[in-house]
Amino acid sequence: QVQLVESGGGLVQAGGSLRLSCAASGNIFRLNNMGWYRQAPGKQRDVVATITNGGITYHVDSVKGRFTISRDNTKNTVYLQMNSLKPEDTAVYYCYANVRTGIGNNDYWGQGTQVTVSS
């Protein structure tokens, strides 16, 4: 089994910064793609940013230039640096990982961390 544990959410004023972390543990042979998704109240869960095992990144247009995804493969951890936060960034942020274990490749999700941006 694989666990993803997120940290770093909280309440911040508009224009502020937060850094989210997500550490993976368990029966991990290889961490493939990892990423961050978010879900605002009454809306679907949408991708924010993703990163391959080799470090190739994708950021959704609405966060380009403000958010940066990165990972440390030695720590099985993915990060999301969020700068210039806006009230519309308020959501529950979920960590995602596609993991190769002893029984194949599977998708895993963290429990979610709340990010609230006040105006």
Overall average pLDDT of the 89-93 stretch: 98
Overall average pLDDT of the 17-22 stretch: 98
Enter the tokens of residue 67.
């958010």
One-letter amino acid for residue 10 of the chain: G
Overall average pLDDT of the 49-65 stretch: 97
Residues 6+ apart with CB under 8 A from 118: 11, 12, 13, 14, 87
Round the average pLDDT of the chain to a whole number and report it.
97
